[in-house]
Amino acid sequence: MTVRTRALITAPRSPVAAAQASIAADAATNDPAIWITRVPDGDFLAEAAALEQEGQRGRPLWGMVVAIKDNIDVAGLPTTAGCPDYAYTPAHSAPAVQRLRDAGALVLGKTNLDQFATGLVGVRSPYGVPRNVFSAAHVPGGSSSGSAVAVAAGIVDAALGTDTAGSGRVPAAFGNIVGLKPTIGSTPATGMVPACRSVDTISVFARDVGTALAVQRVIAGYDATDPYSRALPPGYLRSPALPPGTRVAVGDVAALCAHEVARLYDRATSLFASETVDVAPFLALARLLYDGPWVAERTAALREVVTDRPEIMHPVTRAIVAGGLERRTVDAFDAFHRLAEVRRLASELFTRHDALLLPTAPFCPTLADLAADPIGPNSRLGTFTNFVNLCDMAAIAVPAGFGADGLPVGVTVLGPAWSEGRLAAIAGHIHAAFAEGVSPLEPDPLEAGETALFCIGAHMSGLPLNGQVTGLGGRFLRAATTRPEYRLHALGPRPGLARATPGAAITGEVWALPTTAIGALLAQVPPPLGFGTVALEDGPCLGFLAEAAALEGTTDITAHGGWRAWLAAKETA
């Protein structure tokens, strides 16, 4: 099947031309099941013309065409959540949608979904099943089926989905696109029909990591009307360069996956210096999302429908959500205690690794599989996704190539809350490695509110104290070398750098930190180390320096040219 693609947005373009391209791509795709409510062509073109007449006015998404999952409010368009008898027409858009429009984006319509966002398959909807663009015999993935297919088919540049158990990631894998699952509470959930309010989030689909990140930067932000909204740390969505010492944890999961998924997952892990870790506790927690108290949370979100109007629901959805009425509080506390244990394991894992890399889905079921068993395949699809929101992780699902069967395979890069920017560099590297015409994500330049810091020792990427830098919002910018005016000494587990004559050039790394975090990092640096101005080859930079007097009697390692080379020499000695 030929999949239509559109050029990625690299510069402002005509909103009218963008609207016309979307209308043409939608007509060529000819899949009415993508949409629940589609803005009429004439109205859409008129809105684009008005936007073009206004001009860009600094709006970052000017001319971008987007689709919105139909459990998120768009003013004037019905919100159905995939259930016709539940429909209402909101007077106001959800904050995330309004932020898109304020940034110059054009909303083409509301997309299909597994009813009430309950499912990972994309077939539980009275509005039909959007076609998987690579195989009409296979499911499109859900619950954000229409949003993902609209992006995969080249109809829109980006789309909003939602994600509770993987709904923003699984359909991304099946559509060979990117799915950004942000930190819970980073994007307002106001105006979104809840599934599990405590672990829901609006998510972003796009065809590359950079576009997904650009959309997330627009829609993220604290909202006082959302009780789960959280204040955003400064700079967390700024993307770094890929650090040379990136540490990626991986799982021994081949036995859980289809052959081609396992093969392409292994290929993706080979891009990094990876370490296999025990992911069994995470996978066990994943099973609790549909076999624990969070089913009752889904029931609470739809209490009135379940108790008073159950006949309006899709039969499979009704069976799942009604099951929450039978859950016991005593079992809920057992689950909450287990969750606390696994969250602690996740926290410890991310002190040793920059990310956890897993397959996005273990296989892609067929429509026939779901007809024969509406529950089993869906449950299996959540193997690597269900635990993520429970553990307060951020995630980016990214294409990892095509199997011999012609189906795309995706992998997901996972990190702690507020790690989206750092994850983007890793995800972009994977995408560029296996997709023709995709370039690695360019790092964002230093911005106001950030300070560049030259690191020469254990604070560099992949080394023991790097977590002190990343934990304060630091991001890697580049490798760098001093002017030949310094000596480097070994001070036990850390080096000391001091200006000296004769001197030599010393290698290190430049990291960007929020300026407000510099003091907090300095407080963790013991004497005789401190910060001062270091003369790099390309200009001065704040960096680690040592008191010259304190270096007397220590081992001079200048001849090695840097701390990494010294560590390597020690290992081989």
Active site residues: 69, 143, 167
As given in the structure block, the two tokens for residue 143 are 């619950």
450-455 and 408-416 beta bridge pairing: unpaired
For residue 285, CA distances in Å to 118, 387, 428, 541 come to: 18, 6, 28, 46
**Which candidate, 126, 135, 66, 76, places its Cα nearest to that of 101?**
66
User: Residue 180's beta-bridge partner residues?
Assistant: 204, 396
For residue 149, CA distances in Å to 140, 370, 477 come to: 7, 19, 35
What letter represents residue 212's amino acid? A
CA distance 457 to 448: 26
SS3 498: strand
CA distance 410 to 261: 8
Q: How many CB atoms lie within 10 A of CB 468?
A: 16
Query: Which residues are within 8 A (CB) of 207 and not within 5 positions of it... i.e. 6 or more apart?
Result: 5, 8, 151, 152, 157, 177, 178
SS3 368: helix
User: Residue 111's beta-bridge partner residues?
Assistant: 35, 69
- Strands of 386-528 (E only): list them: 393-402, 408-416, 450-455, 475-481, 486-491, 494-499, 507-514
Secondary structure in 3-state letters for 139-191: CCCCCCHHHHHHHHCCCCCEEEEEECCCCCCHHHHHHCCEEEECCCCCCCCCC
As given in the structure block, the two tokens for residue 437 are 């015409």
Contact in structure between 510 and 541 (CB atoms under 8 Å): yes
Burial class (CB in 10 A: 0-12, 13-18, 19+), 50: exposed
Task: Name the DSSP class of 138.
Answer: B
